Structure 1
């Protein structure tokens, strides 16, 4: 009987390990764009933070950028880069978001101001 319990426990543990981690997504909407030293202007730029199976990416219509994440429940930073630019997103617990791109062909910087809403 004890052997059956151990086999059941082992099988249950394996099943839990094989279960995929639920995807988490934050949808971000940016309403102001600031290009270099020019004044900011209205925009409608969308970006999502997608986390699945331990990998986090910033996803827009233009590209997907793998990022690392650090911070805490009050403030989180997402940073990463690719051959085009270096990307930095800061996200407050109230949803306030700041997104900055430093384009490799420059130096050239574009900043966005907006908000993000999360879901699991």
Structure 2
């Protein structure tokens, strides 16, 4: 019985297999932040992130009860995505330059 309760608690605390993130703010290098409509879909089972520009490979994932951290890679860019129930932050580090871009938004259904 205790094992069943423990297993149920683990299932409830684990992140969803797939969810969508929408970022309303974009900050590029030293420029002022601007409105954004950037969207991505995180697919934990496939270890991928899908965007209109293409897919990224999730190379590492760390989960805590109220925090998911993903490290992903795409051609020419490395990404760090931090998600809490209230907010999400995405940082992209472009190899050319190098340059960086930040996004602020939310991920619905991640928890």
TM-score range, shorter chain: 0.7 to 0.9
Structure 1 stretches (4+) deviating beyond 4 angstroms? none
C-alpha deviation, 1:108, in angstroms: 0.6
Unpaired segments ≥5 residues, structure 1:
1-22
State the distance in 1 between where 2:72 and 2:41 align: 14
User: Cα RMSD (Å) of the superposition?
Assistant: 1.8
Looking at structure 1, the residues matched to 78 and 110 of structure 2 have their Cα atoms a distance apart, in angstroms, of 26
Distance 1:61 1:26, change over 3 A: same
Higher CA-based Rg: 1
Aligned counterpart for 1:80 among listed residues 47, 64, 72:
72
Q: Does 1:25 align with 2:57?
A: no
Task: Provide structure 2 residue ranges, at least 5 long, that are not aligned to the other structure.
Answer: 1-15
TM-score normalised by L of structure 1:
0.72
After TM superposition, the structure 1 = structure 2 runs for residues 60-99 of structure 1, keeping only pairs within 5 Å, are 60-67=51-58, 68-92=60-84, 94-99=85-90
Say whether 1:114 aligns with 2:99: no
